[in-house]
Amino acid sequence: MPRRFFGAAFCVSRCPSSQCQQLHTRGLSAKIHCVVDSETNLPRACAESLRERKRLETRNSIHEACLNLAEERGYTGFTVDEAAEKAGISRRTFFNYFSSKEDALFDFDSEDLPEEYRQKYLDETYATPECSVVLEMVRMYADVEQSRLVGFQPSRMRRIRHIIQDNPKLIEYFIKKADANFQDRSELLKRRHPGLSESQRLVALKTVESIRHHYIEGITDSEPFEYGSERLIHTYDELMDVAFQPFGTSIQHNAQEKS
């Protein structure tokens, strides 16, 4: 049986115009090419994408500043003002992005699903006849990944884990935020598939969460172009092979890929 990549063919760019399509296919270099022309000369979709990239860059710089200071001085060894200064912004700008030092350190808000993706999910944009509940959510996250490539460094998650280990008091904060995000996903899934039981929603969300964690763990900062929507979908395909294909079939696929 040939390998079936249920998700790979579904990856789409956020910008529909041909100019934006070319920019986004260049990954991180899209920012450089967009800056060449003024925003008024760009298609609306690309101009909006550029503004979003600038917003993400500022957010990432604040997050990075807090990580660096926490590693250098410990979690309690710096203030919001010092974090803002290190990020090259004002205190006011800091609070425009984060409500507290803890939020900036963990960057939990980046886990929030923008409304446009929620609506696309509820409108069944990511659904196809052969689609499972899990794949539909993975496709949504793959779409979201398009907007998170600039400035993203996979090692940050590992750095956060080390900071938590050194500061046990942060564990409770981390758990509360993670639980809130999980509950938010559960409510969204309930709206999309009201016929699912609570147990079924839990299984689906945990599976999606596992796929995303495996995706992040498999990325290294030395491979900046080896992540994104296609990589996330490929992680789902690997799960399908290992979890549901017969032993011999999965082993044969791996052998063919290596040859």
Whether residue 102 is found in the same domain as residue 116: no
Distance CA 140, CA 57 (A): 22
Q: For 40, which DSSP code?
A: G
Does pLDDT of 34 surpass 70? no
CA dist 107 and 88 (Å) reads: 18
Specify the amino acid at residue 92: R
**CA gap 226, 42 in Å, rounded:** 28
Do 143 and 87 fall within a single domain?
no
- Domain span at residue 96 reads 30-106
For the chain, where are the alpha helices, taking DSSP H only?
Answer: 18-24, 30-36, 44-73, 80-87, 91-97, 101-106, 115-122, 133-145, 155-166, 170-192, 198-217, 229-244, 247-258
Flag whether 178 is in a domain.
yes
Q: Is residue 2 part of a domain?
A: no
Q: Please tell me whether residues 87 and 203 are part of one structural domain.
A: no
Q: How many domains does the chain have?
A: 2
pLDDT reading at 44 higher than 90? no
Tokens of 190: 């309930």
Would you say residue 38 lies in a domain? Answer: yes
| Same domain membership, residue 132 and residue 69 | no
Here the tokens at position 159 are: 């750095």
pLDDT score at 31: 31
| Same domain, residue pair 124 and 233 | yes
148: which residues sit within 8 A by CB, 6+ positions away?
56, 110
Give the CATH number, domain containing residue 73. Answer: 1.10.10.60
Q: Are residues 121 and 241 in the same domain?
A: yes
Phi first, then psi, for residue 160 (nearest 5°) are: -60, -40
The answer to whether 121 and 192 are in contact (CB under 8 A) is: yes
In a shared domain, residues 96 and 135: no
254 in any annotated domain: yes
End-of-domain residue from the set 52, 80, 106: 106
> Do 127 and 250 reside in the same domain of the chain?
yes
Q: Choose the final residue of a domain: 106, 126, 157.
A: 106
12 within some domain: no
For residues 126 and 102, membership in a common domain is answered with no
- As a whole number, the mean pLDDT across the chain is 75
Q: Which residue has the higher pLDDT, 218 or 258?
A: 218
21 domain-assigned? no
Assigned domain for 3 exists: no
Question: Which amino acid is located at 36 in the chain?
Answer: V
Query: Is this structure's pTM higher than 0.75?
Result: no
Same domain, 122 and 221: yes
Beta-carbon contacts of residue 207 (< 8 Å; ≥ 6 apart):
134, 239
Q: What is the pLDDT of residues 221-232, one digit of tens each?
A: 555 445 567 778
Mean pLDDT within 108-125: 84
Can you give 72-120 as a three-state secondary structure string? HHCHHHCCHHHHHHHHCCCHHHHHHHCCCHHHHHHCHHHHCCCHHHHHH
- Regarding whether 98 and 187 lie in a shared domain, the answer is no
Given 106, 134, 155, the domain boundary residue is: 106
Q: With contact defined as beta carbons under 8 Å apart, do 143 and 12 qualify?
A: yes
Is residue 146, in this structure, part of any structural domain at all?
yes
Residues 171 and 186 in one domain: yes
Per-residue pLDDT tens over the stretch 47-106: 667 887 888 889 989 999 999 999 999 989 999 999 999 999 999 999 999 999 999 998
